[in-house]
Amino acid sequence: MLHSFTLRARRVFATAAATLAFTGIAALSAFAPAAHADAIDSIAKSGVVRIGVFEDYPPFGSIGPDMKPQGYDIDVANLIGKALNAKVELVQVTGDNRMAYLADHKADMLLSVGQTPEREKVIDFSRPYAPYYLAVFGPKSLTVKNANDLAGKSISVARGTLEDLSVTKVAPASATIKRFDDPNGAISAFLSGQAQLMVVGNDVGATILARHPANDPEQKFALFSSPDHVGLNKDEPRLKQKVDDTIARARKDGTMNAISEKWLRAPLPTDL
């Protein structure tokens, strides 16, 4: 997923930790992995696979009512652990420590990683396993199928964000874009009826759909796509292949789609 520093800022909707993006090539290079034993052999020997996840980034990762981690990434981590015949050890990470955790082998892999040319120089990526995109959300009673249907509608966004730029680019001149100082303001405006529609990430949208059924919201259409990958250290072809095979199998048998429906309240995009 082509998450630049700017794109990462959109995840402030869901969690502050997720806005702490990797800060550039120099910082990435500082964490380049050193020589080490083959990861697959190490995992087989220990019987444990350590997977770095955010635990404050719902619906991908959070602490549930039972005080245990839950979310899309937790379910995917368990799938990978089963495929590796290993116990899953969830490693709580933040936006600015997880590259170091991977390079130092405190984690064997990371979830919810965006693929960029800078990161490709120091880590490898699995095939995409989860969708991330900006989308227009609104009540089911309002027919909006594409950008043309935004004509005459009011849309709330956080000022100066990727959401703002994306919808401004495609909205007809008759659309009213209501800009707010922060994401919470934009969301509140939609929920209170000050705007007919809002633009947020699908992760935030899923949370709103779950928590505000009285508003009867639904996803209308996507604006910008940037899927999630598993991040792995370089030169681990066996581990990368195992993760890719696990994702492919889970997509083919419907398991990954069920995870998406459960946590994102939407099926996996066909072009993921």
Q: Is the entire prediction scored with pTM above 0.85?
A: no
**Does the pLDDT at position 250 exceed 50?**
yes
Residue 249 domain-assigned (yes or no):
yes
Give the residue numbers spanning the domain of 156: 133-225
Indicate the number of domains in the chain.
2
- Asked if residue 104 and residue 215 are part of one domain, the reply reads no
Task: Report phi then psi at 78, rounded to 5.
Answer: -65, -35
- Asked if residue 16 and residue 124 are part of one domain, the reply reads yes
Measured over all CA atoms, what is the biggest interatomic distance in the chain, rounded to whole angstroms? Answer: 63
Q: Can you tell me the distance from the alpha carbon of 267 to that of 219, in angstroms, rounded to the nearest whole number?
A: 11
pLDDT at 6: 34
* 196 contacts 153 by C-beta, under 8 angstroms: yes
Residue 192 domain-assigned (yes or no):
yes
**Which among 149, 108, 90, 54 has a CA at the least distance from the CA of 239?**
108
Residue 42 domain-assigned (yes or no):
yes
**Mode of pairing for the β-strands spanning 197-201 and 154-158:** parallel
* 22 contacts 118 by C-beta, under 8 angstroms: yes
* Residue range 92-112, pLDDT digits in tens: 998 779 999 999 999 999 999
CATH code (residue 97): 3.40.190.10
pLDDT at 269: 86
- Asked if residue 118 and residue 33 are part of one domain, the reply reads yes
- Asked if residue 117 and residue 63 are part of one domain, the reply reads yes
